[in-house]
Amino acid sequence: MKILICASGSHGDVLPFIGLGKELRRRGHVPVIIANGAFEHLAREAGLAFSANGTASDLASYLNDPDATDPVKGMALVARGVTSGISASYQVLCREFEPGNTIVVGSSLAWATRLLSETHKVPCAVVHLAPSWFRSNHSAPSIGLLGHLEWAPRFVKRWVFAAVDKRFLDPLFTVPFNRIRVDLGLPPIERVYHQWIHQADLVLGLFPDWLAPPQPDWPAGVVLTGFPLYDHGNDAPLPPEVEAFLAAGDAPVAFTAGTANASSHAFFAASIEACQRLGRRGILITQNARQLPNLLPAHMAHFSYVPFKALLPRLAAFVHHGGIGTTSQALLAGVPQLIRPMGYDQFDNASRAVRLGVAQQLLPRRYRPQAVARRLRQLIGSSLVHERCRQMAARTAESQSIIATCDAILGLQPQR
C-alpha cells in the first residue's frame, strides 16, 4: 500500500509523522513523507521516500520573523504559509497518487490531503497532535488568556467560537482556501476551523484520554492513540559534550523556547539570571545562538540540539514553551515543568499539564528572573510535584501510539 503522509509545521510537528512512516515501512508498505524541504534529512535518515512541498529558506524566513511567536500576528503568518502552500502540496499528492493503492494522511493544517480525498476519492486520515484542535461547548480548550471559559454557559462558548471565526480566522484561512477549492471545482466551505478541520474518513488524536477526555460534541468516531513520543529513533545518545556537562555537577535546569521562533533573547536572558539567583546550573537549548549573550556564565551551557528522551530524566526541572511534543517528552521523563506558552496550542497544553500537577505556567509578560527563580524553587522542592511526575511518567510510558495509529490508518481501504 502506498501511504502519502503530508505534515505541515515545524520540527516538532513533523517528527511524529516520520515515526509513523518508519513503522508503516517496517510493515511492508510504501510511505512517502511530504513536507518542507528542511525535513528531508529526517525522512532519509529513517529510510523513507520524501517529496518537498516548500523550501528550507521558506521555513527559515517564517521562523526568523519576529511576529512568529505573537499570538495574533503569528496566526496571520501561519495563514499565509498554510494557504500559499496548499496548491504545491496538492500537486505533489496528485503526482504520487496511485489509483486503488493509496491512502492519504495529513496533519491538522495539511489541507491538501482533504482536497485529494475529495477530487480523487482517496481514503483520508487527519492526525491532530494536540487536544486544542477539538473545540467543545462542554469543556473548551484553553484559548490564550481567555482560558477554558469554564465560567461560561454553552451558548457563550458557541458565540465565542463563532465570533473568533467570523472576525479573525475566516478572513485569514477560509476565504483564501475557498478560492483554491473553487478552482478545483469544489464547493466552498464555512468556518474551516469549526467542523471542516476534522473532514476525513478517520480522525486521530495523538494524545491520551487522561490528558483530554473526549467530549460529547467532538466529531463522532475520534480515535485517541496516546503520545507518539518519537524522538529521532528514540535511542539517540547524549553528545559527549552534554554528558560531560551533566557529570560536572548537580542536575541542571534546561531551557528551550522551541524551534518555531528566533526572537527569544529576553527569555534566555531571564533564564540565565534565574539560575544565578537559584545557584543552579543551566542548559540553554536553541539552534539560533544569536538569541544568547556572547559570553555565558560558567554555570551555563548552550547546545543547539539535545535528544530529549536522553536529557530530560537528568534534569532538576525543564522550562519550555508548551509544544505538545515537548510537553509529552517531559511527562515521560517525570521532570517538573515550568511552561511559558506564547501562542497556538501552547496555552492549552500548559493548562492541562498544570492540572495534572506536574507543572506551573508563567506567561511571557511575567517571565522575569525573580518570578522564574521562585517558581522553579517551588517545583524542585515539592515532594507532591515529584510524586505526580512519577505517576504521570508511568502512565505516559504505557503509550503504544505509533503502533495503534498505524493500525487505524491501515484499516482504511482504497477504492479499486
Q: Does residue 47 sit in the same domain as residue 113?
A: yes
Q: Does residue 92 sit in the same domain as residue 109?
A: yes
Q: Does residue 332 sit in the same domain as residue 296?
A: yes
The answer to whether residue 233 sits within a structural domain is: no
| Residue position matching grid coordinates 462558548 | 157
Q: Does residue 196 sit in the same domain as residue 214?
A: yes
Q: Does residue 277 sit in the same domain as residue 390?
A: yes
The sheet carrying 317-320 orders its strands as 300-303, 282-285, 253-256, 317-320, 337-339, 359-361
Query: Which residues lie below 8 Å from residue 160, measured CB to CB, with a gap of 6+?
Result: 143, 146, 149, 152
Q: Does residue 254 sit in the same domain as residue 159?
A: no
The answer to whether residue 186 sits within a structural domain is: yes
For 143-194, what is each residue's pLDDT tens digit?
A: 776 666 777 888 888 998 999 899 999 999 999 999 999 999 999 999 999 9
Residue 39: domain span: 2-228+400-410
Query: Which residues lie below 8 Å from residue 271, measured CB to CB, with a gap of 6+?
Result: 255, 282, 284, 319, 372
CA 355-258-292 angle, 5° bins: 125
Q: Does residue 40 sit in the same domain as residue 66?
A: yes
State residue 147's pLDDT score.
67
Alpha helices by DSSP H, 121-239: 154-164, 175-183
The answer to whether residue 235 sits within a structural domain is: no
CATH classification at residue 351:
3.40.50.2000
Q: Which of 401, 54, 413 is nearest to 230 (CA)?
A: 401
State residue 208's pLDDT score.
97
Q: Which of 255, 235, 249 is nearest to 302 (CA)?
A: 255
Q: Does residue 170 sit in the same domain as residue 71?
A: yes
- Looking at the DSSP bridge assignments, the partners of residue 32 are 4, 49
Query: Which residues lie below 8 Å from residue 49, measured CB to CB, with a gap of 6+?
Result: 30, 31, 32, 33, 43
State residue 416's pLDDT score.
64
CA dist 258 and 274 (Å) reads: 19
pTM: 0.92
The answer to whether the beta carbons of residues 31 and 10 sit under 8 Å apart is no
Q: Does residue 181 sit in the same domain as residue 77?
A: yes
State residue 280's pLDDT score.
95
The answer to whether residue 255 sits within a structural domain is: yes
**Cell numbers that stand for 145 in this block:** 488568556
The answer to whether residue 234 sits within a structural domain is: no
The answer to whether residue 56 sits within a structural domain is: yes
Q: Does residue 156 sit in the same domain as residue 293?
A: no
State residue 316's pLDDT score.
98
HSE-CB at 411 with a 13 A cutoff on CA atoms is: 12
State residue 409's pLDDT score.
97
The answer to whether residue 262 sits within a structural domain is: yes
The answer to whether residue 30 sits within a structural domain is: yes
Sites in the chain below the pLDDT cut of 50: none
State residue 342's pLDDT score.
86
The answer to whether the beta carbons of residues 12 and 230 sit under 8 Å apart is no
CA 226-228-234 angle, 5° bins: 140
Work out how many domains the chain is built from and give that number: 2
Q: Does residue 169 sit in the same domain as residue 67?
A: yes
CA dist 270 and 257 (Å) reads: 12
Alpha helices by DSSP H, 64-123: 73-96, 112-120
The answer to whether the beta carbons of residues 230 and 154 sit under 8 Å apart is no
Q: Does residue 133 sit in the same domain as residue 255?
A: no
State residue 184's pLDDT score.
96
| Residue position matching grid coordinates 491501515 | 410
Residue 359 has phi, psi (to 5 degrees) of: -150, 160
